[in-house]
Amino acid sequence: MSVNEAISRLTEEQANQEAQQLRTKLKQWATEYYTYDNPSVEDSEYDATYQQLVELETAFPTIIVPDSPTQAVGDNTLPEFTKVRHEFQMLSLGDVFSTTELSEFIQRLITQGVKPEFNCELKIDGLAISLRYENGLLVQGSTRGNGQIGEDITKNLKTIPSIPQKLTKPIDIEVRGECYMPKSSFVKLNEQRQADGLEPFANPRNAAAGSLRQLDAKVTAKRKLSTFMYNVADYSDLQATTQSELLAELATLGFQINDTYAVVDDMDDIDAFISKYQEQRDDLSYGIDGIVIKVNDLATQMSLGNTVKVPRWAIAYKFPPEEAETIVRDIEWTIGRTGVVTPTAIMDPVTLAGTTVARASLHNPDYLIQKDIRIGDTVKLHKAGDIIPEISAYIASKRPADSQVYVIPDICPSCGSELVHLDEEVALRCINPKCPAQLTEGLAHFASRDAMNIDGLGPKIIQQLFDKQLVNDVAGLYTLSFDNLITLNKFGEKSANNLLTAINNSRSNSLERLLYGLGIRHVGAKAARLIAQHFGSMAAIMAASADEIALIDTMGEVIADSVVTYFKTIEAQALIVALDEVGVNMNYLGPTSAKLAATDSSFNGKRVVLTGKLQAFSRATATEWLENHGAQVSSSVSKKTDLVIAGADAGSKYTKAQELGIEIWDESRFEATMNSEE
């Protein structure tokens, strides 16, 4: 029996009761998704339930109530933010889930006399924002909220490089668009959150929303957000007469637009656009969950108007969720360098979004319990935000009859110590400072490129050193001898000498590398450099108070408290003494802030973007050199960019720099300039 047939058999009272149940579910899910940025169900389940409610209310119009999710726009606002009333309502989009529904929508418009010319755009998986400019200057930025009232997040939006503070023309304008988190930023953020014992974000959209709704703009700035703008509240002062012209005009004003849009005039071209980006979505650097089709003519958009919730001149085609079924064979627990114990499902290999997947993170014990995943379960697998393999649910009908609830371990699988929860963290931790898994992870981090950069000291070698009891902490690396190393598996004289040279060279690294290599919670490479630059020596850092550290620009209380807490421990103090005794440098060797400000480097004060593959040195080395010579290294190209340094196989950043007329250097010119300024 079809859904429509089932609905037709209902009485109005039965339909009303079912609608009330659906509304309760949808409101709860919407609050989790929009207000708290922590959804408990997949988008596809929300969409399917929402569609059931739409069909019920369409069949029984008398049961519609004003606060139904079908009548509401967007999300609630949070009390911590100042409210902004939108002069022009910010609408959401109607959804269709099949090309048949989409074709019917297009045909209805044509029947009404609409010219068959449509603009196809990617549906960015982010958070709707509004930017208001007066005389060309950004004066206010806000969320959509409920469409009428949003949240003032101006300070946070001003930290996003792709949002211009000043337009190329001194005009008054309100621009709408999407704030999103690039896939690479999403992966790094969740890795850090898991290391810190925090719940990972479900997808890039929720990560972007959570990042924008921070009371501390410094947190937002660290999240590496970006934007695509695509609409204006009132276009009467602009030259554009079509949606495609509007996008081009927004670009000339200094906004970042998504230039994949295409003007089409029939359903075949729309189908081709959908197919193209459904295939390419995994290769994009940002998440999309569908295609938006808009009437191209702006005057026609105005005449068609909108319903209480959605425009009549646009529709969103939602991609079907890509899922695969597989069987969970085991649940493996791994220990990170901070002691966080993470469960991972080991599954039969399946192909998903073009890659073979056999492992999926279960994040933390609470997630595992909530999903009720068990060994032997047949599960549905998808990629969260098109990136990270994730189990959405088990299939109850395929659960084995002898299935047992999975028991969360209470002892560390590496050292046998009791596992604990700290400070209401969702993570489970091993707090044994001598835990072998933590020590080997810590050694690998210490030797990594951004830390002490000990070339040739990878995880497998570290494991051998640890198993042979040749080292038990990072200071022990500096007491290794040739005779020690020659005993390692597949290690000859050349390998042993090369590793000894790399270890010895690392003794003379600048302080920031050592500070980062210690693996202090919340202290990344950039924070380590700023702290080392500010205090100058390890002794000064260890003697500093949290207030003194927090005064450093972009630092904040969390990092400051973490540094002070770390150096208060007897173990940390003993480790620093041991490192000092084996000749590891304890002083900052780079330029001080004062020197940077006064330097006559040609890079001083410039915004530089690196793109492509560099041959002579790593991206990290180039970034460090540029920052030490006063440059600000950015990850995206905009009108504010002064210089792009392009290595081999440079892609979209190179193209965008050409379009914007930004100066571009090849690697050889950059290397020659580096040598001339040393």
Just list the catalytic residues.
Answer: 123
Q: What single-letter DSSP state applies at residue 524?
A: -
| Cβ pair 181, 384 in contact under 8 A | no
Q: What single-letter DSSP state applies at residue 270?
A: H
From the list 591, 315, 579, the residue with the least C-alpha distance to 471 is 579
Q: Apex CA 442: angle with CA 584 and CA 203, to 5°?
A: 130
User: What is the Cα–Cα distance from 381 to 270, expressed in whole angstroms?
Assistant: 29
89, 112, 238, 313 from 305: Cα distances, Å:
12, 13, 19, 7
Neighbours of 298 (CB within 10 A): 20
User: What is the Cα–Cα distance from 548 to 534, expressed in whole angstroms?
Assistant: 10
DSSP class per residue in 548-581: HHHTSTTTHHHHHHHHHHHHHSHHHHHHHHHHHH
Q: Assign residue 649 a region: left if phi > 0, alpha if psi is -120 to 50, beta otherwise?
A: left
DSSP class per residue in 109-141: HHHTT--S-EEEEEEESSEEEEEEEETTEEEEE
| Cβ pair 432, 412 in contact under 8 A | yes
| Cβ pair 326, 343 in contact under 8 A | no
Amino acid at 363: H
